């Protein structure tokens, strides 16, 4: 049970989760997904791994596929109304989720429900009754709604009722515990609040930390293209993991790997004390992740592919150009230099950065403002698929 209580960003109300776990009751563990895109990624896997820990303790896992709520789109973190998805897109995305969930959960022991089951059947009187249980003031407590309102950005009525509709899922399945990412806290608390209004035992709210994406700044997201998908090809999954900034090593050890706590502590110590090259630690992380979502054999193949491409490439295979930093403005950026070297426009080079096509010694670089004075001597800069430059 101790592992279940680790890596929790939110555990509300305090002490209630532990009490429920010790009660001996088989708990209804809820986690929901709106099928707004076809793929799940490592960010989704953080709360899923927590769900798996509870599944292994014998609790009942209920996965809600939000085919109804996906028509609205979760407004969390959005500064404008999301485009509406077609029924065909939602159905197509929903079908991909079950197989992907099987990469983390034992899908033979989960209950999958679509919230259209109860929301499509809701009568207008019941719907009005649901709306009456929450106030506009409570909804406007949401930071994203408050910011949009203050900026004069539009907020559609269907966005305002989204938390209530999603929260009603907890009422429908009588959830004991709901798990989600930290950004879902408001929605999860609404579910708990509604259960009280419907005279149910309110659910415990568990939020896991948000895993940052390949850019090292923002949460992992499909829309930001900084994600590692659960269905990514093993070679791509390994390569993307190797591209994370060194600053994310401890975060990925804690949230994205299946190492034991003792193994994590050893690797963290090696990183903090500079006992090992960060690349060596990232290779262990990448190997572990690919093994978890594919197989050990495919992880070995992916590692060999990475080493052959980036660590064992023969010098004569690389086109070098010697660059004397003193010949350039000390404030010059890598983008500005590549703009000249590649004879491309700055907007074209910027797209290479955004697409993860710029790397230094095998590590992807997304920072278009990186100063060339920060590039180490003899580093190999790769731009696109065929251009290699050595900075001296």
Superfamily of chain region 325-391: RNA-binding S4 domain (3.10.290.10)
Q: What is the pLDDT of residues 282-315, one digit of tens each?
A: 999 999 999 999 999 999 999 998 888 775 554 4
Task: Name which residue leads in pLDDT, 114 or 154.
Answer: 114
Residues in a beta bridge with 381: 360, 389
Of the chain, the percentage scoring pLDDT greater than 90 comes to 54
pLDDT at 371 over 60: yes
Pull the structure tokens for residue 389. Answer: 């430059």
d(CA 20, CA 176): 8
Domain 234-312 has CATH 1.10.240.10: yes
Q: Taken in order 338, 341, 346, 352, is the CA torsion positive or negative? A: negative
Q: What is the pLDDT of residues 9-39, one digit of tens each?
A: 999 999 999 999 999 999 999 999 988 778 8
Sole residue written with tokens 């003792």 = 262
For the whole model, what pTM was predicted? 0.75
- Enclosing H/E stretch for 262: helix 261-272
d(CA 361, CA 246): 13
d(CA 292, CA 177): 26
Pull the structure tokens for residue 193. Answer: 């609040």
- From 244, 228, 312, 226, select the one nearest 284 (Cα to Cα): 244
292 CB burial (10 A radius; 0-12, 13-18, 19+): buried
Q: Cα Rg for the chain, rounded, in angstroms? A: 24
pLDDT at 366 over 70: yes
Pull the structure tokens for residue 367. Answer: 């920072």
User: What residue ranges do the domains of the chain occupy?
Assistant: 3-208, 234-312, 325-391
Superfamily of chain region 3-208: HUPs (3.40.50.620)
């Amino acid at each position: 049970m101790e592992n279940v209580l680790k890596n929790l960003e939110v555990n509300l109300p305090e002490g209630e989760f532990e009490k429920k776990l010790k009660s001996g009751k088989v708990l209804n563990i809820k986690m929901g997904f709106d099928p707004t895109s076809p793929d799940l990624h490592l960010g989704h896997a953080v709360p899923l791994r927590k769900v798996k820990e509870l599944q292994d303790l014998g609790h009942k896992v209920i996965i809600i596929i939000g085919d109804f709520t996906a028509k609205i789109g979760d407004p969390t973190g959005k500064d404008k109304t999301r485009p509406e998805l077609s029924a065909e897109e939602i159905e197509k995305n929903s079908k991909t989720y079950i197989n992907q969930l099987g990469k983390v959960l034992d899908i033979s022991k989960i209950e999958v429900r679509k919230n259209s089951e109860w929301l499509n059947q809701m009568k207008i009187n019941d719907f009005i009754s649901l709306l009456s249980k929450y106030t506009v003031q409570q909804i406007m407590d949401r930071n994203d709604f408050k910011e949009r309102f203050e900026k004069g950005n539009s907020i559609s009525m269907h966005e305002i009722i989204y938390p209530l509709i999603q929260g009603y899922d907890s009422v429908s399945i009588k959830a004991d515990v709901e798990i989600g990412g930290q950004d879902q806290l408001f929605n999860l608390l609404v579910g708990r609040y509604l259960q009280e209004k419907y005279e149910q035992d309110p659910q415990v709210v568990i939020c896991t930390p948000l895993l940052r994406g390949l850019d090292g700044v923002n949460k992992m997201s499909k829309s930001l293209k900084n994600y590692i998908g659960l269905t990514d090809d093993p070679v791509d999954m390994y390569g993307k993991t190797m591209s994370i900034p060194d600053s994310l090593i401890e975060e990925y050890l804690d949230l994205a790997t299946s190492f034991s706590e003792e193994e994590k502590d050893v690797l963290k110590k090696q990183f903090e004390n500079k006992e090992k090259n960060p690349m060596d630690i990232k290779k262990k992380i990448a190997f572990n992740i690919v093994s978890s979502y594919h197989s050990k054999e495919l992880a070995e193949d992916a590692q060999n592919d990475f080493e052959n491409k980036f660590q064992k490439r023969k010098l004569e295979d690389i086109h070098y150009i010697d660059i004397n930093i003193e010949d350039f403005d000390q404030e010059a950026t890598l983008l500005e230099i590549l703009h000249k070297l590649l004879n491309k426009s700055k907007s074209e080079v910027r797209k290479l950065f955004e697409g993860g096509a710029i790397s230094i010694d095998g590590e992807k670089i997304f920072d278009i403002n990186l100063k060339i004075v920060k590039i180490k001597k003899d580093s190999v800069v790769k731009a696109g698929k065929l251009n290699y430059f050595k900075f001296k």
